[in-house]
């Protein structure tokens, strides 16, 4: 089994593997190009995103700066907006539903490292997928950690560290992120 196959299977793998390092370098180069594009050169931005991401829906807008590890593990639904400084460590799948809005300085981290120092120092790592439902708003400075699923119609408050799954239809916030309350009809302005 190759290191990439181990990575995709959620097993321990060597992140310093030549194939994985080459693929990361390709993605980093595309991210650099994307971040250097003139703000209103929409067609060029779309062309780079089409080369970088596995799949994206209609109306995708990612403000610079944007960084990812591979790109080919990222799937974005329709009507996606991310403010500045989005980081997606996509060693495993990161899937966003439709109508997802992300504040500035947010990170989605599928990558993790063993607790055991000997394993960690040998270059071994593992990853767990992240899934974000539809109609989700994620406030600024939020970190979503490996293996997390956030349900549909949910709001994650700014500054949260999401370490466990969050259900649909709630407002959640904090470190660690916890459900604060359900979203109700009274939330309509």
Q: What is the pLDDT of residues 73-129, one digit of tens each?
A: 999 999 999 999 999 999 999 999 999 999 999 999 999 999 999 999 998 999 999
Q: Confidence class of residue 188 from pLDDT cuts 50, 70 and 90? A: confident
Active site residue ranges:
113
- The CATH number covering residue 71 comes to 2.160.10.10
Can you give the pLDDT at residue 156?
Answer: 98
Give first-to-last CA distance, the chain, whole Å: 54
Number of domains in the chain: 1
Residue 166 lies in domain = 3-187
Q: Is the pLDDT of residue 35 over 90?
A: yes
């Amino acid at each position: 089994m190759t290191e990439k196959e181990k990575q995709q299977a959620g097993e321990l793998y060597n992140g310093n593997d030549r194939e994985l390092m080459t693929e990361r370098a390709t993605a980093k180069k595309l991210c650099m190009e994307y971040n250097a594009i003139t703000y209103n050169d929409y067609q060029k931005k779309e062309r780079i995103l089409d080369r970088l991401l596995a799949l994206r829906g209609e109306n995708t807008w990612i403000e610079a700066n944007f960084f990812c590890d591979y790109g080919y593990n990222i799937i974005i639904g329709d009507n996606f907006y991310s403010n500045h400084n989005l980081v997606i460590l996509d060693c495993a799948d990161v899937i966003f539903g439709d109508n997802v809005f992300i504040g500035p300085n947010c990170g989605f981290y599928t990558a993790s490292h063993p607790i055991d120092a000997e394993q960690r120092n040998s270059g071994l790592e593992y990853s767990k997928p992240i899934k974000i439902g539809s109609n989700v708003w994620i406030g600024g400075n939020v970190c979503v950690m490996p293996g997390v699923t956030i349900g549909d119609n949910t709001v994650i408050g700014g500054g949260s560290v999401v370490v466990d799954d969050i259900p649909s239809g709630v407002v959640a916030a904090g470190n660690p992120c916890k459900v604060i309350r359900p979203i109700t009809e009274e939330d309509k302005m």
